């Protein structure tokens, strides 16, 4: 049985994996690359890496799936824009095919994560999900009737930006107003904590933190792990994720999915974040939609994008 070689491209290093037809990640390793030589660097190091683990590239690998951050035209395999990788209109598929000499499938990383969870993770029993990948940025994906909806150009699921009305406290790096990312991403949450605690002397939540200036998301998670009911911190977190909750309500009302799935660093808050979202989303949701509302945390952790890009490569037809 042949394998899919998957590459999850990061800023200075990429994760490489081998996935079989059942979605099992059979091996993985990491390779460094220079920003301006991503594909040539990856090719050389991957071929070496595969040899070390006893894989014959020509015989054992069927296809290559690439997951990458940014606006990805999945049909053409062109990265239209990636802020993290500083790339504009880069034809990664063409360059990769010249070197790798296999069929190359390119997909946005949040879309890939959603497909991973949909194939073998928490969403495998669902046909329709709204997927939020919340870390230092916010991405997402929509799967309806068992198919990823990538949008006409592959841009669907960019939930972090646009919309205009989700919050009016923080400017966004994208230049638009009211985006959810600057307030509800893990970085946004930390900023909101710092700003709120600094703006009020003896803020009731400040006693949970050693130093307001250096609060990290991990420390916020630890407050929940070490305290039964840290109400002052819950209230601040609730404020920070309010734009996210409003966005989710809009999506729930528009698409009526079977479940909303959360992934990324935010899920370190485990059931605490689910509880906060479930409680607050009812303010913005039509009662009938709220009745069977399911919100769950992803299961595959850091492997989801690799597994999902293999699924995409194996079942390309499924998204159309």
> What number of H helices and E strands is found in the chain?
11, 13
CB closer to Zn ion, 82 vs 297: 82
- 25 counts as binding Zn ion under rule CB under 5 A: no
| Nearest-angstrom CA–CA distance, 130 and 141 | 6
Three-class DSSP category at 136: coil
Helix (H) or strand (E) holding 231: helix 231-255
- 247 counts as binding Zn ion under rule CB under 5 A: no
Answer for which of 16, 172, 183, 189 binds Zn ion (CB under 5 A) is 172
Which residues in 177-206 contact Zn ion (CB under 5 A)? 179
- 156 counts as binding Zn ion under rule CB under 5 A: no
The CB-of-236 to Zn ion minimum distance in angstroms stands at 22
Query: Any idea which residue has 């929509």 for tokens?
Result: 142
- 293 counts as binding Zn ion under rule CB under 5 A: no
- 15 counts as binding Zn ion under rule CB under 5 A: no
- 161 counts as binding Zn ion under rule CB under 5 A: yes
- 174 counts as binding Zn ion under rule CB under 5 A: yes
Residue span binding Zn ion (CB under 5 A) among the ranges 82-90, 120-128, 160-168, 260-268: 160-168
Pairing of strands 129-134, 138-144: antiparallel
Give 18's strand partners: 5, 27
Three-class DSSP category at 289: helix
The CB-of-184 to Zn ion minimum distance in angstroms stands at 11
CB closer to Zn ion, 103 vs 136: 136
Looking at residue 86, what DSSP letter applies? T
The CB-of-239 to Zn ion minimum distance in angstroms stands at 19
Residue 252 has a CB neighbour count (10 Å cut-off) of: 20
Interacting residue ranges for Zn ion, rule: CB under 5 A: 161, 172, 174, 176, 179
């Amino acid at each position: 049985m042949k394998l899919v070689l998957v590459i999850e491209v990061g800023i200075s290093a990429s994760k490489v994996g081998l996935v079989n037809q059942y979605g099992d990640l059979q091996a993985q390793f990491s390779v460094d690359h220079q920003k301006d030589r991503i594909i040539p660097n990856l090719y050389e190091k991957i071929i070496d890496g595969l040899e070390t683990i006893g894989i014959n590239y020509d015989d054992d690998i069927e296809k290559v799936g690439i997951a990458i951050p940014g606006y990805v035209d999945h049909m053409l395999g062109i990265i239209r824009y990636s802020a993290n990788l500083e790339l504009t209109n880069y034809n990664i598929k063409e360059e990769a095919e010249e070197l790798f000499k296999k069929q190359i499938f390119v997909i946005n990383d949040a879309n890939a994560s959603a497909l991973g969870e949909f194939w073998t993770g928490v969403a495998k029993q669902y046909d329709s999900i709204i997927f939020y990948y919340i870390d230092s940025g916010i991405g997402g994906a929509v799967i309806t009737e068992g198919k990823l909806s990538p949008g006409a150009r592959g841009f669907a699921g960019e939930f972090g930006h646009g919309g205009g009305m989700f919050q009016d406290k923080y400017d966004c790096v994208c230049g638009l107003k009211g985006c959810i990312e600057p307030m509800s991403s893990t970085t946004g949450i930390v900023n909101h904590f710092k700003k709120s605690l600094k703006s009020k002397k003896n803020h009731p939540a400040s006693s949970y933190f050693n130093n307001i200036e250096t609060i990290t998301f991990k420390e916020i998670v630890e407050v929940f792990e070490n305290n039964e009911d840290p109400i002052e911190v819950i209230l601040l977190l609730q404020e920070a994720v309010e734009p996210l909750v409003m966005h989710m309500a809009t999506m729930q009302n528009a698409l009526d999915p079977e479940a909303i799935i959360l992934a990324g660093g935010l899920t370190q808050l485990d059931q605490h974040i689910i509880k906060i979202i479930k409680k607050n989303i009812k303010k913005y949701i039509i009662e009938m939609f709220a009745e069977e509302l399911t919100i769950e945390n992803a299961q595959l952790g850091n492997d989801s994008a690799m597994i999902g890009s293999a699924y995409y490569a194996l079942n390309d037809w499924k998204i159309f």
